[in-house]
Amino acid sequence: MRDFGFFLDHGNFFKVVDTLEKFEVNMVNKESQAGRDFVVFKRQLYQMYEVRHRSVWEHEQFSLNVERRNLKWLHEANRDFITELQRVNYLDQLADTGSLGGKVFKKKFMNADKIRGLSMLGLSVFGWMKLPVLTMMMGSSLPMAAITMGAMYGMNQFAEKQVISSIESLPDGMLSITYMKSPVITATITAHVKDVYAVCAVGEDDMGADDVESNVIAIEKFMQDNEHHTSPICLTLPADAFRDKQMMEWIMAKKDAKEETTVDDFTDMLREKFEMRCQKGGLGMLTAFHVRETGLAQFAKEKEIEQQMLNDGSETEDSIRRLQELYG
């Protein structure tokens, strides 16, 4: 145990420092663990002595002094950050709603893996077209092996199995889940929301637009081709997808139907809000692109607003009239 008080309470600390320095030079092996511990102890002792013997001015410089106006600025900055975060999340949801087409979840056609696979297939095709030249330069074995491996890697990136492609919300808390059995074959199952939950996240594979990881979804009971299945299955929920965040959070949550009596009521409430968002519609393709890239940070500048007012004068006059009715 390190006894700092014994050295700090000594009458002549400079004598203590002199003794410790001589002891370190003559007796301490700094390559050993005990020697390194002694050096750390000595530095900590010096720092504690410095703190104990600071002047009033030094204590003021090293102390944390936060004025009330600074606290107000911090509070306002935090409030503005939360407001901006809510605004961006709202716009992201509008952009996704426009791409969902009434569905709760819809996988994107292209993702990072497919882009890499498509690139490798393109390189393989290019290599096949230049095969005579490559054969003259490197022989026949190496180019053929590289082209074959590139083509196999590219096709493997498109070989999706047990991956959910879309989820639709049905009445009475039911879900219609379509998943990929193979790269070209899909299957659709119907399950209640209380029988569906997320098991675990499998890793960060998003392209940066969303901080959402792929998840493994377990379905305990479901119906397929008019047949009831009680053996659970696990499917992968990809990260690169459009989604209704509120509905997906509830779908991925673990529901205890035996203990909870409000599962059906809460599901109905979420579905009503989801249908309201669908009826309002989402954003257009160009606006959604601006939302995902800039959060509309470059939208509605002063000149753009003036031009919009000139182009649609009747709408501007109607807006001014409604404002006058509200505020006088």
pLDDT in tens, 116-149: 888 888 999 998 898 888 888 888 888 888 889 9
Q: How many Å apart are CA 179 and CA 181, to the nearest integer?
A: 6
Same domain, 140 and 228: no
- Rg over alpha carbons for the chain, rounded to the nearest Å, is 33
Same domain, 226 and 131: no
How many domains is the chain partitioned into structurally? 4
Residues of the chain under the 50 pLDDT cut: 205-211
pTM of the model as a whole: 0.59
**Domain limits for position 253:** 160-280
Give the tens place of pLDDT for each residue, 267-282.
889 888 888 888 877 7
Question: Is 27 contained in some domain?
Answer: yes
Same domain, 276 and 176: yes
Question: Is 127 contained in some domain?
Answer: yes
Same domain, 309 and 275: no
Give the mean pLDDT of the chain: 79
Same domain, 22 and 37: yes
Same domain, 183 and 258: yes
Question: Is 35 contained in some domain?
Answer: yes
Same domain, 37 and 125: no
Give the tens place of pLDDT for each residue, 145-196.
888 998 888 888 887 888 888 899 888 888 999 998 887 888 899 998 888 8
pLDDT at 136: 86
pLDDT at 328: 62
Buried b (16+ CB within 10 A) or exposed e, 102-135: ebbbbbeeebeebeebeebbebbeebeeeeeebe
Last residue of a domain, one of 62, 82, 104: 62
